[in-house]
């Protein structure tokens, strides 16, 4: 059967080819290449990767241990920071043993002003009432005396109830003013300090209400005595009469036309309210500051805004302390009622220099400070507190509570974390789990100690953490071996890649050269064949008519001209490739260059120039340009020849557009031919390259025309560009400098 015979013949041919000496099949070459080069490279790469991965895991384990140690150090440091900030409060409280709770206010004020993490404090007495900042005091209700009110002042009976006496005097002042003034004068001589202060204030108001010069002077004297009392002094009825006396004294000065004393008194009152406003109730500070500022504003002083700021600050402090009382009141009362905690540290050595209070303060300094924490609606609140112990130290006389500004504390903690070069930050405990995963190798989260257990410190490894990165010149020997193997494998892979690319490039170049030789040989052979055919016809005497003889000679001359033109083109291309071609510049008109190229094209095609049908359009007045005439004509001719060659058919339309641009002259050749496929547009200017559509349509060409034109134009400092011509065709533009 023919099919069987053909199959056996093909098989025998393949077998005979395999058995031929000196020939190695491509499959065997591929297998040998894989076994001798690629497979060892893959094995070496796998070994190097495994060794490097082991080294990386060891380094990550070291980094994790270092991160954990750093996080523990940071947690201890932050805990000690908070304790060191709060410990002076306990020391100051220990040094004030056996004294009134109000005597601790100056020392605590200095501490709060010195420590940025403290923002407000309050002092509670033994009964849990706030004595600083001041609250509206209530008068002490005493049992009324059995005798008359005024009689008690004469010593005829028990000491009088000053509150009831003051109320009685106030009730009879409207009807018996003189008797009320005499009773107040008697109380000023024989009453308690609080009673004398109340008598001075009430007497001043009665004298001021008389609206006489004598009454005003007496009121000024009474208020003057109140000015000598401390600002926080109150009367028996709980009124801040010292502060109000300063204000009333300024008003009386205004009534007596003493404007300097009036302004000086109000300004002094505002200054005292700013410095010691905490000793007065918030309502009194706001009222006095607002009224003093308004009066000074009327006198031309810019004090109203400052006065309102004083009242606002005191009101904010009152709100903060009220919040602390609401959150921590029961806990502070429990601290007041509890026994004194035992000393945890070793007993200090006795010293003759230290007093008993100083030794007690030294013992307290070794104890851990006491904190209270509560969760409000928006955030956590934290206070440090210290008890004021009496003598003997078995009962607390009061307690000092200082609010801790958690924002300022966290800012200071963050600054201390960053000073060690680690990327540390403080985050809520709830958010730490989202920032640091369970298997994270570059970050560690550790909650802080109470009372900051709601905060966690997150320590991140920097790009080059200290103590973990070894010097590049002091690497372990195994690491060096691994890097050598990796570099060797990389070198082998790079060599294989470079070899493959070189072989492919050389194969492609060889194919292009082969195609070029074939195309050029065909183009040389075609005119030679025509010349030889017509020459044989003439030699054999087959043409007897003189007209036919002339026609044969014209064809032979045209083919000889075509052959000469092709050889000249090859010679020019050879000179350009060997860098032996030099420009001969001269000033030429662009239109003349195009006309000369059209004339040469007409001679090559054997047609008159007017019959080519190529339209030439000059858009603007064209200047002369400095070019090599022969070179530019050759470049334009190559593009025109391509346009003619790749635009077959009777509807051929070719147009040359010459345009003067800003810095260039553009010579554009437009046609309606087959165009250039999109995938071939970037390589048509490469030597020996041709469009795939030209090869498919078997259009003759050598692949050096555009390359030669590009080299000529670039030698002039210009460029050649391609653009598709709508709806189809090509547009090649030559850009030459003016």
pTM: 0.52
Question: Does 586 share its domain with 733?
Answer: yes
Judge whether 38 lies within some domain.
Answer: no
pLDDT at 667: 92
- Which CATH number is 543's domain given? 1.10.287.130
pLDDT at 468: 40
Provide the token pair at 346.
């070793």
Question: Does 597 share its domain with 681?
Answer: yes
pLDDT at 105: 85
Question: Does 327 share its domain with 430?
Answer: yes
pLDDT at 697: 58
Pairing of strands 625-628, 585-588: antiparallel
Residues 6 or more apart whose CB falls under 8 angstroms from that of 392 comprise none
Question: Does 410 share its domain with 362?
Answer: yes
Judge whether 334 lies within some domain.
Answer: yes
Question: Does 369 share its domain with 448?
Answer: yes
Max mean pLDDT range (170-174, 210-214, 495-499, 555-559): 210-214
- Residues 526 and 518: beta-carbon distance below 8 Å: no
Judge whether 18 lies within some domain.
Answer: no
State how far the Cα of 719 lies from the Cα of 585, in Å rounded to an integer.
17
H-run or E-run covering 62: helix 39-95
State how far the Cα of 704 lies from the Cα of 691, in Å rounded to an integer.
12
How does pLDDT run across 241-264, given as a tens digit for each residue? 999 999 999 999 988 889 999 999
Provide the token pair at 30.
């591929």
- Rounded to the nearest 5 degrees, what angle is found at the Cα of 674, between the Cα atoms of 668 and 675? 45
Question: Does 639 share its domain with 625?
Answer: yes
Per-residue pLDDT averaged across 641-667, rounded? Answer: 87
Question: Does 240 share its domain with 166?
Answer: yes
Question: Does 586 share its domain with 688?
Answer: yes
Q: Residue 351 — pLDDT band, cuts 50, 70, 90? A: very low
State how far the Cα of 337 lies from the Cα of 23, in Å rounded to an integer.
109
Judge whether 295 lies within some domain.
Answer: no
How does pLDDT run across 478-530, given as a tens digit for each residue? 566 666 677 767 767 766 676 676 666 666 656 656 656 665 665 666 677 77
Phi (first) and psi of residue 89, to 5 degrees? -65, -40
pLDDT at 309: 92
Q: Residue 733 — pLDDT band, cuts 50, 70, 90? A: very high
Question: Does 563 share its domain with 592?
Answer: no
416-425, 615-624, 660-669: least confidently modelled range: 416-425
Which of 300, 302, 277 is CA-nearest to residue 288?
A: 277
Q: Which residue in the block uniquely carries the two structure tokens 């410190």? A: 457
Q: What is the DSSP letter of 680?
A: G
Q: Cβ atoms within 10 A of the Cβ of 325, count?
A: 17
- Which CATH number is 651's domain given? 3.30.565.10
State how far the Cα of 110 lies from the Cα of 89, in Å rounded to an integer.
10
Judge whether 646 lies within some domain.
Answer: yes
pLDDT at 264: 92
Question: Does 548 share its domain with 589?
Answer: no
pLDDT at 534: 77
Q: Cβ atoms within 10 A of the Cβ of 408, count?
A: 14
Q: Domain end: 563, 581, 599, which one?
A: 581
Judge whether 485 lies within some domain.
Answer: no
pLDDT at 656: 92
Which of 345, 382, 374, 372 is CA-nearest to residue 360?
A: 345
pLDDT at 1: 34
pLDDT at 249: 92
Per-residue pLDDT averaged across 90-118, rounded? Answer: 82
State how far the Cα of 713 lies from the Cα of 541, in Å rounded to an integer.
50
pLDDT at 670: 92
pLDDT at 696: 59
Judge whether 32 lies within some domain.
Answer: no
121-125, 157-161, 476-480, 503-507: least confidently modelled range: 157-161
Domain that holds residue 574: 511-581
Question: Does 731 share its domain with 604?
Answer: yes
Q: Residue 18 — pLDDT band, cuts 50, 70, 90? A: very low
Residues 6 or more apart whose CB falls under 8 angstroms from that of 361 comprise 91, 94, 95
Q: Domain end: 280, 298, 332, which one?
A: 280
H-run or E-run covering 511: helix 477-539
How does pLDDT run across 19-66, given as a tens digit for each residue? 444 444 445 555 555 656 666 666 776 776 677 777 777 777 777 787
Q: Please state, rounded to an integer, the average pLDDT across all residues of the chain.
A: 76
Q: Is the pLDDT of residue 668 over 90?
A: yes
Which of 403, 395, 404 is CA-nearest to residue 101?
A: 395
State how far the Cα of 33 lies from the Cα of 59, in Å rounded to an integer.
38
Per-residue pLDDT averaged across 592-598, rounded? Answer: 90
- Which CATH number is 184's domain given? 1.25.40
Judge whether 365 lies within some domain.
Answer: yes
Question: Does 265 share its domain with 376?
Answer: no
Q: Domain end: 523, 549, 581, which one?
A: 581
Query: What is the total count of domains within the chain?
Result: 4
């Amino acid at each position: 059967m023919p099919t069987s015979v053909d199959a056996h013949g093909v098989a025998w041919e393949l077998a005979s080819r395999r058995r031929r000496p000196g020939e190695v099949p491509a499959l065997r070459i591929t297998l040998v290449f894989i076994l001798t080069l690629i497979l060892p490279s893959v094995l070496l790469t796998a070994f190097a990767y495994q060794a490097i991965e082991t080294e990386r895991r060891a380094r990550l384990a070291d980094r994790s241990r270092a991160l954990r140690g750093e996080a523990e150090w940071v947690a201890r440091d932050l805990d000690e920071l908070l304790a060191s900030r709060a410990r002076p409060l306990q020391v100051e409280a220990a040094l004030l043993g056996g004294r009134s709770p109000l005597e601790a206010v100056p020392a605590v004020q200095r501490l709060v002003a010195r420590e940025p993490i403290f923002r407000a404090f309050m002092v509670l007495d033994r009964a849990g009432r706030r004595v600083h900042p001041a609250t509206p005091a209530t008068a002490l209700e005493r049992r009324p005396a059995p005798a008359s009110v005024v009689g008690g002042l004469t010593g005829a009976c028990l000491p009088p109830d000053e509150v009831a006496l003051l109320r009685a005097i106030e009730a009879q002042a409207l009807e018996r003013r003189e008797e009320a003034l005499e009773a107040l004068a008697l109380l000023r001589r024989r009453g308690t300090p609080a009673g004398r202060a109340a008598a001075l204030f009430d007497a001043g108001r009665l004298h001021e209400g008389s609206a006489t010069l004598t009454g005003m002077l007496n009121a000024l004297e009474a208020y003057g005595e109140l000015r000598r009392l401390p600002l926080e002094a109150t009367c028996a009825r709980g009124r801040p009469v010292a502060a109000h006396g300063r204000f009333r004294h300024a008003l009386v000065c205004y009534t007596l036309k003493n404007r300097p004393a009036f302004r000086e008194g109000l300004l002094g009152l505002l200054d005292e309210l700013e410095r010691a406003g905490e000793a007065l109730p918030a309502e009194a500070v706001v009222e006095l500051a607002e009224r003093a500022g308004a009066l000074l504003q009327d006198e031309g002083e810019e004090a109203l805004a400052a006065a309102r700021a004083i009242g606002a600050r005191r009101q904010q402090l009152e709100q903060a302390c009220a919040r602390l009382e609401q959150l921590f009141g029961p806990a502070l009362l429990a601290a007041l009622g509890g026994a004194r905690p035992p000393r945890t540290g070793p007993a200090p050595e006795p010293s003759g220099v230290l007093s008993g209070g100083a030794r007690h303060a030294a013992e307290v300094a070794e104890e851990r400070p006491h904190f209270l924490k509560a969760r409000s609606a928006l955030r956590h609140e934290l206070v440090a507190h210290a008890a004021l112990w009496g003598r003997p130290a078995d009962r607390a006389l009061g307690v000092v509570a200082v609010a801790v500004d958690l924002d300022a504390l966290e800012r200071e903690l963050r600054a201390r974390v960053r000073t060690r070069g680690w990327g540390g930050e403080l985050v809520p405990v709830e958010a730490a789990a989202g920032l640091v995963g369970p298997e994270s190798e570059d970050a560690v989260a550790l909650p802080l100690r109470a009372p900051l257990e709601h905060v966690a410190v997150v320590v991140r490894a920097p790009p080059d953490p200290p103590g973990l990165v070894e010097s590049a010149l002091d690497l372990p020997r195994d690491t060096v071996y691994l890097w050598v193997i990796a570099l060797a494998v990389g070198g082998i892979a790079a060599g294989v890649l470079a070899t493959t690319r070189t072989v492919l490039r050389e194969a492609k170049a060889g194919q292009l050269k082969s195609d070029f030789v074939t195309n050029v040989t065909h183009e040389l052979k075609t005119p030679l064949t025509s010349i030889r055919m017509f020459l044989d016809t003439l030699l054999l005497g087959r043409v007897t008519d003189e007209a036919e003889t002339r026609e044969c000679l014209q064809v032979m001359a045209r083919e000889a001209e075509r052959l000469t033109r092709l050889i000249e083109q090859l010679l020019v291309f050879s000179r350009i490739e060997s860098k032996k071609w030099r420009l001969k510049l001269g000033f030429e008109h662009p239109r003349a260059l195009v006309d000369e190229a059209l004339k040469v094209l007409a001679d090559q095609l054997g047609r008159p120039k007017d019959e080519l049908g190529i339209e030439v359009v000059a858009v603007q007045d064209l200047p002369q340009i400095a070019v090599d005439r022969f070179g530019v004509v050759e470049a334009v001719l190559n593009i025109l020849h391509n346009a003619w060659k790749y635009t077959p058919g009777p509807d051929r339309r070719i147009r040359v557009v010459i345009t003067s641009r800003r810095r260039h002259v553009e010579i554009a050749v437009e046609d309606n031919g087959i165009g250039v496929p999109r995938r071939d547009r970037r390589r048509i200017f490469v030597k020996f390259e041709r469009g795939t559509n030209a090869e498919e349509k078997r259009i003759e060409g050598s692949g050096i025309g555009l390359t030669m034109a590009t080299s000529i134009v670039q030698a002039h400092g210009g460029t050649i560009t391609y653009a598709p011509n709508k709806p189809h065709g090509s547009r090649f533009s030559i850009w030459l400098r003016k």
